[in-house]
Amino acid sequence: MASYDSDHELDDSYYQATHQPPSSSRFPRLSRPLIDSARNGWQSSPAYHFLSSSPDNTKDPDWVQIGRSVISAPRFRRYVVIYLVLFLLGWAGWGFILYPLLEERSTLLRSLDPMSKAEAGGWFGTNSPPRFDDLIQIRTLDPSLVPVARTEGESRGARSEKRLVVVGDVHGCKKELEELLKKIEFSTTDGDHLILTGDIINKGPDSAGIVDLARELGASCVRGNHEDRILLLRHEMVAMNTLSTGDEKSVKLHEPSEKEAKERALARSLSDEQTQWLNSCPVILNVGLIPGMGQVVVVHGGLVPGVELEKQDPSTVMTMRTIDIDTHVPSESSEGVKWAKLFDKHQSILYSSLKSSHADPRSQTMTVIYGHDAKTGLKIRTHTKGLDTGCVKGGKLTALVIEDGGKQSLVQVNCRDYSEDKKDKKDKQHK
C-alpha cells in the first residue's frame, strides 16, 4: 500500500477494510466517510496567507478589499512599471524629436510663403547683386559631358558611357585625390569628367600639384573662398610689385601673420598658367539637366532659395553656411538654419506643386552639389548634396559619382591629418 504525507495520511480505520475477509464487492468498504478525516494543515503553511492580517479588514467595503488585492498583485505592479516606461519614452520622443521636427517644418514653410517676402521687405537677392570684373559668375558645362537617360534595353549593371565625378574640398591633398580617382577607376577616355567643388588649394601639402592634375584631366571647377582669397592676394602682390621680391615689409605697416605669410608664399608659388586656370573657375557651374536630379548646379558654399542664378551674390555663394529664416540673408556662421535645409524644402514644395500638372516635375527642380561645410560633413538630401568631409584634417575625401540615367553613388578614401603636421613643426620649433 502506498504511503502518504502527514497532511494527507488516512486514519488506521480506513485500512481496516484491508484486514476484512474478501467479499464479493470489487471495492473495499470504508468504515466512515473520507471527508471526516480531512485535515487543515495547509493553513499553517507559509505559502498561504490572508489578504490582510488586520482584524478590521472585514469591516472594509468589498470594493476596497478588491482594489487592495489588485494593487498587491505582482503582475499589476509589473504592468504599471511597463506602462510608465512607455509613457516616459513617448513623452521624450514627442518633446525632443517629433515636436522639434514639426516646429522646424512649420518654420520653413512659413519662411518660404510668398506673403512673408512682403513682410520682410523683400528677400535677400531680389535686387541686382554686386558685379566683379575679376571673376566669372556662371559657366555652363559642355552638354556632351552630361550623363543622359538610359535606354529601355540598357542593362543597369553595364558600365555607363558618361560619368560625372564630383569631389568635395581637396585643399591640396593630391595623394588622396589620386587614390580616390584610382578607386573609382576614373578614365577620361571612357567618358568620365571630374568636377571640383572649390577649395582645391591651400592648407594641404601640394596645392600646385592639385592644379596641375586638374588641368591634366581636363577637370571643371568652381571658385571657393580659398581660391578667391589667394587670387585676390596675388593680384594685390602684383599691384604692389612684391610677387617676385617678397618684400612685404616695405609696403605694409605690420609684420605678416603666420597664416598670411603662408598664403603669400602659396600665391607666389603659383605659375601664371596655374593662376589663369584658377581664375577660369566660375562661382556657379551649371551642369545641366540630369535624369532624376533636375537642373544640377555646383557651387562651393550655397545658394539662396527662390533667387535666380544670375542674381545670386557671388561672395555669399562662396561662403554661406546658414541663412536667416525671415529675410533669407546668408551667413558664414554655423549657427542658425542651414541654407541647404531651406533650399531642399523650397524645391520639395515646388516638386509637389508640379506633380499633378507636369509630366516630369523633377526636371523643373534644381539639385545643388556643394562643399565648404566640413563641420556638418557629408549631407545628402534630395535636392542638396554636401561633399566636404574634412580631408585636410584627417577626415575623408568624398566623390559623388553620377552615371547615365542619373544613378548616384558615393566613394570615399581616408585622409592623413595634415593639421597634425603643422602642430609637430611648431613643437619642434619651440624645442
Q: Residue 286: enclosing H or E segment and its boundaries?
A: strand 284-290
Q: 118: exposed, middle or buried (C-beta count within 10 Å: 0-12, 13-18, 19+)?
A: exposed
Give the pLDDT band (50/70/90) at residue 396: very high
Locus of grid cell 551667413: 331
HSE-CB at 302 with a 13 A cutoff on CA atoms is 30
Q: Output 143-151 pairs: Cβ under 8 A, ≥24 positions apart.
A: 143/288, 145/193, 146/287, 146/288, 146/289, 146/290, 147/290, 147/291, 147/402, 147/403, 147/404, 147/405, 147/406, 148/291, 148/404, 148/405, 149/291, 149/404, 149/405, 149/406, 150/291, 150/404, 150/405
Q: Are residues 104 and 180 in the same domain?
A: no
Cα 283 to Cα 61, 216, 220, 224, 260: the distances in Å are 84, 21, 12, 7, 24
Q: Are residues 293 and 420 in the same domain?
A: yes
Give the pLDDT band (50/70/90) at residue 1: very low
DSSP reduced 3-state for 333: coil
Q: Evaluate whether residue 101 is within a structural domain.
A: yes
Alpha helices in 254-404 (DSSP H): 258-269, 272-279, 314-319, 339-354
Q: Evaluate whether residue 350 is within a structural domain.
A: yes
Q: Evaluate whether residue 189 is within a structural domain.
A: yes
Is the whole-model pTM more than 0.85? no
pLDDT of 215 reads 97
pLDDT in tens, 301-311: 999 988 889 98
Q: Are residues 192 and 278 in the same domain?
A: yes
Q: Are residues 106 and 146 in the same domain?
A: no
Q: Evaluate whether residue 176 is within a structural domain.
A: yes
pLDDT of 120 reads 46
Q: Evaluate whether residue 291 is within a structural domain.
A: yes
Most confident of 109-123, 125-139, 206-220, 321-335: 206-220
Q: Are residues 301 and 200 in the same domain?
A: yes
Q: Are residues 206 and 251 in the same domain?
A: yes
What is the span of the domain harbouring residue 91? 45-111
List the one residue out of 142, 141, 160, 145 whose CA is nearest residue 193: 145
Whether residue 226 has pLDDT greater than 60: yes
Domain harbouring 206, CATH code? 3.60.21.10
Q: Evaluate whether residue 117 is within a structural domain.
A: no
Q: Are residues 319 and 229 in the same domain?
A: yes
- Our count of domains for the chain comes to 2
Instruction: State the cell numbers at 322.
Output: 546658414
Q: Evaluate whether residue 81 is within a structural domain.
A: yes
The average pLDDT across 426-430 equals 50
Residue that wins the pLDDT comparison between 19 and 234: 234
| Beta strand residue intervals within 129-211, DSSP E | 138-140, 163-167, 192-196
pLDDT of 23 reads 52
Q: Are residues 94 and 146 in the same domain?
A: no
Is beta strand 322-323 parallel, antiparallel or unpaired with respect to 330-331? antiparallel
